[in-house]
Amino acid sequence: MEQTPFDPGRIGFAENPENRCPSVLILDVSRSMEGEPLKELQAGLSLYRNELAADALTRKRVEVAILTFGGSVRVVQEFVTVDRFAPPVLVAHGDTPMGQAVVTGLNLLADRKGEYRGNGILFYRPWVFLITDGAPTDLSSPYWAEAKALVTEGERAKKFSFFAIGVEGADFGRLAELSVGRKPLKLRGVRFRDLFRWLSNSQQAVSRSIPGESVPLANPAAPEGWAEV
C-alpha cells in the first residue's frame, strides 16, 4: 500500500475547533475506468469541492480524505477541511483491490476519529463512499472478508454510513455484500457530477445540524436506505 506523507499542518484544531463532518471517498481507478468514466469522476470531484467551498461554515466543518485503488491502494488525500482540499489528478491503471481499499479507508477513518476525541472535537457520523465500475480482484485475500466485517460492525454500531456506488459493469452482487441496510446505487451512465452535487448539498445540511441528530438528506436517491444518515 502506498500512502502520502503525514502532514501535521492538516489538523489545525487550535485554529479551527469547529465540529467535523468527515467524508472518505474510496475511488476505483483501475484500468477499466480509463477514458470517459475517469474524466467524469474527476469533474465530479471538482464540482464537489467547489460547491462545499461556497458555504463558509461547511468549509470549516466538512473534512475529505481520498483513497484510490488501481493495481495498488493509495491514500492520495489525507483528511483536510474543504478550505484546504484540492482534488487529486486521477490516473487509471492496474486491477481492482477493492477489499484492501475499504479496509485501508476505514482504518484511516478510525485514526482520524481518535484524533478528534484526543483534541476534544465533536463530529458527525462519518460518510464513506465506495465508487467502482468492476469487481474486487482480492476476493481470495483476507482483505475482502475483513472489509465486509468492518462495514457490517461499523454500520450496526453507527460508527459511519457506508455507500456503495457502481457504474455500468460493476459487480452489484459483491457491492451488496458490503452494503448493510442500504442497497448499492447504480449510476445512470457516468453521472458523477449529479452524485457529488447530491453529496455536497447533503453534507452542507448535516454540517449545520447538531452532532448525533438525524438529518433528512437533500433529494435522496431511490435505493432503500438513502433517506437519512
Domain assignment present for 67: yes
Domain assignment present for 214: no
Task: Measure the CA–CA gap between 153 and 167, rounded to whole angstroms.
Answer: 26
Dmax over CA atoms of the chain, in Å, equals 46
Amino acid at 10: R
Which domain does 128 fall in, by range?
2-8+25-207
| 8 Å CB contact between 162 and 155 | yes
Query: Which region, left, alpha or beta, applies to residue 228 given φ > 0 means left and ψ of -120 to 50 means alpha?
Result: beta
- In 3D space, the residue among 2, 210, 222 whose CA is nearest the CA of residue 93 turns out to be 2
Domain assignment present for 218: no
Res 86: pLDDT: 93
Residues near 125 by beta carbon (within 8 Å), at least 6 away in sequence: 158, 159, 160, 161, 212, 229
Domain assignment present for 114: yes
Residue tagged 450496526 (cell numbers): 156
Task: Measure the CA–CA gap between 198 and 127, rounded to whole angstroms.
Answer: 13
Residues near 13 by beta carbon (within 8 Å), at least 6 away in sequence: 119, 121
Convert 217-229 to b/e letters by CB count within 10 Å (16 or more is b): beeebebebbeeb
Task: Measure the CA–CA gap between 9 and 97, rounded to whole angstroms.
Answer: 30
Bridge partners (DSSP) of residue 26 are 67, 130
Domain assignment present for 196: yes
Domain assignment present for 16: no
Give the cell for residue 150: 468492518
Q: Which stretches of the chain score pLDDT less than 70?
A: 1-11, 212-229
Q: pLDDT tens digits, residue range 72-131?
A: 999 999 999 999 999 999 999 999 999 999 999 999 999 999 999 999 999 999 999 999
Domain assignment present for 220: no
Q: Which CATH number belongs to the domain containing residue 163 in this structure? A: 3.40.50.410
Report yes or no on whether pTM surpasses 0.75.
yes
Q: Number of folded domains in the chain?
A: 1
Give the cell for residue 227: 433517506
Domain assignment present for 215: no
